[in-house]
Structure 1
Amino acid sequence: MEQGQSRLNKTLATAAVIVALVLGLFFGSAIDIGRRLFGGPNPETVASSALQSMRAQNRLVPFVARYVSVVSSRQERLGGLVSSERTLILPGDVRYELDLAKLGPEDVQWDAGKSTLSVTLPEIEIAGPEVDLGAAREYGENGVLSVITDADRALDRNNRARAVADLRKQAGSPVPMRLAREAGRQAVERSFALPLQAAGFDNAKVVARYPTEGSAVTEPLDRSRSYNDVLDEARSN
């Protein structure tokens, strides 16, 4: 009895596998026929949907860096007989942003012959610096001039302005800009490549580039503010 039941179970299991294979072939063929008759998603449609999704994000921050500025100011009077000197160490964070709202349909082009989607990126923008006043350090000589005048306050103001300007200069230097641009490029390429692959376009290639690549103009767009605005915002946080 048990042997008969075992043979019956094996027979039923085999039959179930055969039925599953037949149904799989049937539905697979049906889907393929449906795509041929009614048309499946095309790369342009997928890219357009991805573009709208990215534009809705508004701004992309592919790279963030922290810099430290060390500046000193010195004031002398009476031919150097009296003097005062102040040193400021000021750290700050800078964001490198892509304004995705600037991406338009004309910036996204599909080349069917090469199976390549070309994307022209907006330029990287520098936002900040966001100075860390809690980590800032100020040092001075406490000379005679600082006792008899307000030289220390004047030197501190001068140091802060110079430090913020120095942070911006560091942020726009070639190495971090290259890293930020590459991070932005990779992020955008992934954002277009993933939906294309999900739609079945496994061989599709996405190539993103900046409009100034290959030209002498490679400076970032500067969205930073005056050092007074930067310091007022830091104090309010």
Structure 2
Amino acid sequence: MEDDRVEQPESSRNVIIAGLLGIAAILALYFVGSSLLDRAEKGPDPETIMTTSLEALQAQNRLVPFTARFVSVVTSRQERFAGLLDAERTLILPGTARYEIDMAKIDRGDLDWDEASQTLTITIPDIEIAGPEVDLTAAREYGETGILGAVTDADELLTRANQQGAIEDLRKQAGGAVPLGLAREAARDAVRRNFELPLRAAGIKGARVDARFRSDPQPSTAVLDHSTSYDNALAEAERRRNAKGE
């Protein structure tokens, strides 16, 4: 009998503990379910998706959306001894330029989400041109220095002048309006895809992404002047004449 009296309180405690654990489990399930239901009703959080996409881009360090290959043709000429001796040499030198964006320069403040239009506006740093990297294995040189090259340093001077001129010309080509325009458009498209696809995959089907460069002009907010059409102007003039009794 004494053993029964000792075991009974222990059994009661076990029942109470089990009951409390059951209640705690039910409450935990309730709160988790409520949180999931609330999140499902509100839909995906674009801010979280934007931040994750930005971190993924920043991890790439530098984005190379566009590369272009150029060819420079440069000719140099040397004359000595009052034009009695001359030498000429032409260099054909190809080179490749990379158009890069430093992703580390993009921060959270460059992202602007407009809930009403479901549009994300991203401001990205300007294009940086790397290179051009010359392809010496594909370089071709033509011309003869003749006697002048044999008795002077004309050969070395012509080679140096051609190389310097070709590299300068390649840089000029790389910075031209056409390749820069193509590079900027490729960069916009690459950044746009990196943000638009995750947003749509998360369920924001109507999400749009507008990528713009820091050097782009700010969009105008001025109200457009809607000019009166010719017919409306005539009708307005007729109305005024009738009002004056003419």
TM-score normalised by L of structure 1? 0.74
- Give the match for residue 98 of structure 2: 95
Q: Which has the larger radius of gyration?
A: 2
Shift, 1:38, TM fit? 8.2
Task: Please list, as runs of the form range in 1=range in 2, the aligned pairs for 1:192-231 lying within 5 A after superposition.
Answer: 192-214=195-217
Corresponding residue number in structure 1 for 2:79: 76
Question: CA deviation digits over 1:92-146, x for unaligned, max 9?
Answer: 1110111111110111110112111000011001001111111101112233211
CA contact (8 A) 2:125 2:214 kept: yes
Distance 1:67 1:209 in 2: 27
Out of 49, 57, 60, the residue aligned to residue 60 of structure 2 is 57
Aligned to 2:167: 164
Distance in 2 of aligned mates of 1:76 and 1:31: 89
Counterpart check, 1:188 vs 2:206: no
Give the secondary structure class of the aligned counterpart of 1:146. helix
Unpaired runs of 5+ in structure 2? Answer: 1-32, 219-246
- Tell me: higher relative CO, structure 1 or 2? Use CA pairs within 8 A at least 6 residues apart: 1
Which one-letter code corresponds to 1:96 in the other structure? Answer: Y
Q: Which runs of 5+ in 1 are unaligned?
A: 1-29, 216-237
Alpha-carbon spacing, 1:47–1:33, altered in 2? closer, same or farther (3 Å): closer
- Distance between the aligned counterparts of 2:118 and 2:140, measured in 1? 55
Q: TM-score, normalised by structure 2?
A: 0.72
Q: Does 1:122 align with 2:164?
A: no
| CA 40–70 in structure 1, closer or farther in 2 if over 3 Å, else same | same
Cα distance between partner residues in 1 of 2:173 and 2:145: 30
Shift, 1:36, TM fit? 4.7
Asked if 1 retains the 8 angstrom alpha-carbon contact of 2:53 and 2:194, the reply is: yes
- Which residue number in structure 1 is paired with residue 44 of structure 2? 41
Tell me by how many angstroms 1:183 deviates. Answer: 0.2
What number of residue pairs does the alignment pair up?
A: 186
Preserved CA contact (<8 Å) 2:44 2:204: no
Identity over aligned residues, as a percent? 56
What's the counterpart of residue 114 of structure 2?
A: 111
Task: Detail structure 1 runs of 4+ shifted over 6 Å in the superposition.
Answer: 30-33
Q: Which residue number in structure 2 is paired with residue 86 of structure 1?
A: 89
Alignment partners' CA distance in 2, 1:193 and 1:32: 26
